[in-house]
Amino acid sequence: MRNTLILVGLLAACSLAALGQGYATQPADALVFPIGVEGTVYEDMELGVRGGTLHIPNIEDPRAWNNHTAHETSTTWFTYRMHRGLVNLDHISGAIVPDLAKGWEISEDGLVITFHLREGLKWSDGMPITADDVLFTYNDVVLNEDVDCNSRDGQILPDGTFPVCEKLDDYTVRFTLSTIYRPFLNSVGVGIMPKHKLAQYVHKLNPDVPAGTFNETWTLDMDLSELVGNGPWIVTDYAVNVSVTMERNPYYYGYDPAGTQLPYYDKIVNHIVANQDVSMLKFRNGEVDVYALRPEDIPILLPEGPAKRFQVMVTDLAGYGTTWICPNQDIGLGDGTDAEKRELYRNVEFREAIAHLLDKDTMVQNVLNGLGTAQWTGVSLPSPFYAGRDYYGGPTTESDAVWFEYDPALAASKLDALGVVDQDGDGWRDLPSGAPLTIEINTNDNTTRIAYCLIIQDDLRAAGLNAQFQVVDFNTLVNKLFAATGDIIQLGLTGGDEPNSGKNVYTSCGSLHAYRYSACEDPDEVDLRIDELMDLGANTFDLDEAFEYYKEYQILLAHQLGYIYLCQPTFLYAHYDYVGNAFKASPISTPGGNNGNLTELCFDKRL
């Protein structure tokens, strides 16, 4: 059987001739990562040495090298490392930080953001990076309707318009917004592309090429010596179904505090393997250095780690997204039924009783096999706005977390106080009027969700609530959610760094405000304050100020218990001890996907 470390090249391999010689000295405007600097989230990382090759497994081939036409992570894993934007998300904290831009100013009225590019930087072929490249990227690629661009929708402002990008000088660009919109700072971080290489493929700049030509540019069969980037890596070799090799961009502008240009590794070799099982075996054999493991891999890898000198990182970092139950506070509203039940569900004391009946520890142990963490808010834990942090992008201390501890006795006392007691002696609590109370819990045919619901059913029944769990198909479940015809629904939502993305869920007129759609017509004080806070958070560019707004809204939501949160799986990976700084975060994946991974900050400790 072939040795997969030997590259069987089917496509032209060309690398060193296409890359420049690098900076003679560290650029004055270099991006310095505070590795080992006390008081930063990087403080316990080590300064590394340059050299070596990082071997990682990949289960899919890329589909192109074009960052802006890619729609799949198998491609963007590579293109993200070749093309960086004006801003980025910090590797560790997830906070928005300067990248290609060294800073920005926001006008008094919040409608004009001026970015200052780092001066003296070069593309991987030695050509200068200037504002012309930013304008080209934004105006001629991202906003160009001829281009099948994956990031265009993310640029749209609340009023349906796009920011206007203008060049002020070679190193200054200005974006003018029609409305104050802080999330723009996140969406503006698209990878900047080299105008000198790509303008020729854009019809509006070169009428000699047909419209849409850009979509077929930088495909897999291109001459890799033509590939030019500004990120830490450049693809220099690709063998279909075998491997992708990336080498250090000699003109990458990232440095460590000791003046060492990053990335530390000379190369990354992505070994394309058939599936995750093969990835795992190659990791065990020492053929790859890092592995994104699954829960079922843990009992196999844990005993081998000490002898083979690798770490199985069972982190306490939850991934993005939420899992919850949603008591329908509009139950029966549509057809004029269930008035008393609706009144009960709308009583926060009842929802608190339900919250105290959720045994999240058991859920983590029995559903997530110990590999999970309880949730209390709708903003994902990796987000720099997560209210369990002390400040924007700060450490997670949970000092302001709102927990409803599993406490059946307290739940019972709350139910008793509400008059939800067994009045007819059948063993089940009734509505205060004495009418029977039955609670139907629904989810779809998903083993994890079913497992959650069975635990919840048992705990509610143990408290005397006649809970009946029933699996329904996904479309029926979603219809119940949207039509407010369900009772208690168990589901989940995706998540991200930007709380404003949850506006459709948490604002009183949001399309997914499924716990009480009637709040749009009849908001209470909490609803109104949450609406206000969501706008305040989006309408300030002061990230610390936005953090305080979002913190308040998360705490209000937690007390409001519209969605009652359950648990989320935690993030797992494994790495060999010799991969320096990999203890801090995986160099190949993160809870949040591609953002914030550490390929440029890891190094080979054996050197």
Interacting residues toward other proteins by CB under 8 A: 1, 277-278, 281-282, 284-285, 295-303, 305-307, 312, 314, 365, 369-371
- The least CB distance from residue 418 to other proteins, in Å, is 37
Nearer to other proteins, 287 or 340 (CB): 287
8 Å CB contact between 305 and 564: no
Nearer to other proteins, 297 or 459 (CB): 297
Q: Any residues with CB less than 8 A from the CB of 87 and at least 6 apart, and which?
A: 96, 97, 98, 99, 101, 104, 185, 186, 188, 189
Question: In this structure, is the dihedral angle defined by the CA atoms of residues 274, 277, 282 and 285, taken in order, positive or negative?
Answer: negative
Q: Is 211 exposed, middle or buried (CB count within 10 Å of its CB: 0-12, 13-18, 19+)?
A: middle
The one-character DSSP state at 105 is E
- The least CB distance from residue 584 to other proteins, in Å, is 18
Nearer to other proteins, 326 or 572 (CB): 572
Q: Quote the CA–CA distance of 165 and 175 in Å, as a whole number.
A: 5
- The least CB distance from residue 309 to other proteins, in Å, is 10
Starting at the earlier edge strand, list the strands of the sheet with 172-176: 101-106, 112-117, 172-176, 164-169
- The least CB distance from residue 396 to other proteins, in Å, is 19
Nearer to other proteins, 268 or 368 (CB): 368
Nearer to other proteins, 202 or 368 (CB): 368
- 547: tokens are 């953090």
Torsion from C-alpha of 340, 346, 352, 357, nearest 10 degrees: 50
Q: Quote the CA–CA distance of 226 and 231 in Å, as a whole number.
A: 15
Report how far apart, in Å, the C-alpha atoms of 568 and of each of 366, 375, 493, 502, 522 are.
Answer: 13, 7, 11, 17, 32
- The least CB distance from residue 307 to other proteins, in Å, is 5
247: left (phi over 0), alpha (psi -120 to 50) or beta: beta
- The least CB distance from residue 277 to other proteins, in Å, is 6
Nearer to other proteins, 24 or 274 (CB): 274
Nearer to other proteins, 283 or 547 (CB): 283
Nearer to other proteins, 365 or 444 (CB): 365
Q: Any residues with CB less than 8 A from the CB of 445 and at least 6 apart, and which?
A: 471, 473, 474
- The least CB distance from residue 60 to other proteins, in Å, is 19
Nearer to other proteins, 563 or 571 (CB): 571
- The least CB distance from residue 587 to other proteins, in Å, is 21
Q: Which residues pair with 314 in a beta bridge?
A: 572
3 state SS of 494: coil
- The least CB distance from residue 379 to other proteins, in Å, is 25
Q: Quote the CA–CA distance of 473 and 458 in Å, as a whole number.
A: 22
Report how far apart, in Å, the C-alpha atoms of 354 and of each of 161, 187, 455, 518 are.
Answer: 44, 38, 13, 22
8 Å CB contact between 191 and 141: no
Nearer to other proteins, 284 or 461 (CB): 284
- The least CB distance from residue 322 to other proteins, in Å, is 21
